[in-house]
Amino acid sequence: MPTIRPMADLRDTGKISELCYQKNEPVFITKNGSGHLVVMSLDTYEKQFGLLDVYRKLGAAEKQLEDGVPLLTGSEVFDKLRKKHGK
C-alpha cells in the first residue's frame, strides 16, 4: 500500500527521510487532498531508474527480433565482451 502524507509533513524533513528509507518505496505528498509530489530515497530512485533502463533495453531487443536482426549465441556474446574489455 502506498505511503501518502500531506504537504505539511515536509516541514520535518528528517521524518520524511526516515520514512522513505524505511519503506524503500516512493512517498506520495498531497496538497489540498490531491497528489502533488513524490519523494523517495536515493536508493529507491536508483532502483526505479535501473528497472526503467532494463525495460527500455528489453523493448529495444524485442524490436530487433521483430525486425529480423539475427540473434547471437552465448559464446558470441562472451567473445565480444572479452574483446571489448581485453580479457
Inter-residue contact 81 to 72 (CB < 8 Å): no
Per-residue pLDDT at 86: 81
Parse the chain into domains and list their residue ranges.
3-40, 44-85
**Tens-place pLDDT, residues 59-81:** 999 999 999 999 889 999 999 99
pTM here?
Answer: 0.69
**Tens-place pLDDT, residues 9-31:** 999 999 999 999 999 999 999 99
Inter-residue contact 19 to 27 (CB < 8 Å): yes
| pLDDT over 80 (residue 51) | yes
